[in-house]
Amino acid sequence: MERGSFVLGHQLTSDQLNARILNYPTIAVPERKMTLNTSPVGIDRAILFDDGAYNNRDIQLIIGFEGKQADSNIQKFLSVLDTGKYIDFQMYSDPDYTYQVIRQSTGTIARPNYSDGYRELTIMLSAAPYRYVAPAQTETITTLISTLVNPTNYVAKPYIKIVGSGSITLTINGTDYRFSNVTGSIELDSAMQNVWHTNGKIIVNENAKMAIGPFPTLKPGNNNINLSAGTVTIEPRWRTL
């Protein structure tokens, strides 16, 4: 990526907006979710309760918009952010990763005295703690045993689509994930912990067709995968802090 460039939501680029990031983005390291209990008497350190997760991180940006459409392009940028859900964001400063961002804070729009056709937007974005390896990888696996290699030090929560019918078992690292009465295909998102089937444009909840238990994850290093019938497409969503 060129210096200052970015892609927002896989649909809006810095070139389309005639914009560039002016600063080297300041990105906070996410805070671990922990609680320290200092009340017990006679113990020489606090008792630690670890939630096993992280808080969101902040990304501070200054973006310059050039040309007669500067004001309009700022509104386009903000409208993509303001959808009530996380939006993918890639920056020149970290081109091998995608961040998932939302806007919670206010921003400021400044116009230097020397130019009518230039604006600067200063804004703070809130990003989900993990950043995802880009471009996203997708693997299609048949009933043969295959191996996916997680290149990061963190457990991944994949998106999975199984194409087939009837009773199907997906085995990952020796753990069986069983699906019953599959009709053509079934999809699941381990991050959202949801199972569904797409019928045309209609999404049908299929949580009842997956045996009760944890959703699949992919550990760092080698992950052995087998499918009892049909084919499975996996978007691993490799991630790191």
8-39 pLDDT, tens digit each: 998 899 999 999 999 999 888 899 988 888 78
Q: Which residues are CB-contacts of 63 (< 8 A; sequence separation ≥ 6)?
A: 6, 19, 20, 21, 22, 77, 120, 121, 123
How does pLDDT run across 178-205, given as a tens digit for each residue?
999 999 999 999 999 999 998 888 899 9
Domains and CATH numbers, the chain: 6-132 (2.40.30.200), 139-240 (2.60.120.860)
Residue showing tokens 């959202």: 192
Tell me what pLDDT residue 113 has. 66
Which pLDDT score, from 0 to 100, does residue 205 have? 93
Each as own residue / partner, the long-range contacts of residues 175-181 (CB below 8 Å, 24 or more positions apart, any chain) are 175/216, 177/210, 177/211, 177/213, 177/215, 177/216, 178/210, 178/211, 179/209, 179/210, 179/211, 180/209, 180/211, 181/209
Q: What are the pLDDT digits (tens) for 49-81?
A: 888 889 999 999 999 999 989 999 999 999 999
Of 45-49, 65-69, 87-91, 102-106, the least confident: 45-49
- Quote the CA–CA distance of 53 and 60 in Å, as a whole number: 22
Burial of 229 (0-12, 13-18, 19+ CB in 10 A): middle
What pLDDT score was predicted for residue 114?
66
Average pLDDT, the chain: 91
Q: Which long-range contacts (CB under 8 A, 24 or more apart) does 109-117 make?
A: 109/71, 109/74, 117/66, 117/67, 117/68, 117/70
> What's residue 37's pLDDT?
82
pLDDT at 116 over 80: no
- Report pLDDT for 157: 96
Q: Which of 144, 137, 135, 97 is nearest to 234 (CA)?
A: 137
The model's pLDDT over 125-168, given as tens digits with 9 standing for 90+, comes to: 999 999 999 988 898 888 777 899 999 999 999 999 999 999 99
Distance in angstroms (rounded) separating the CA atoms of residues 93 and 132: 14
The per-residue pLDDT for 145 is 79
The three-class DSSP label of residue 238 is coil
Residue 192: CA count within 13 A, CB half-sphere: 12
Q: Which of 230, 237, 222 is nearest to 170 (CA)?
A: 230
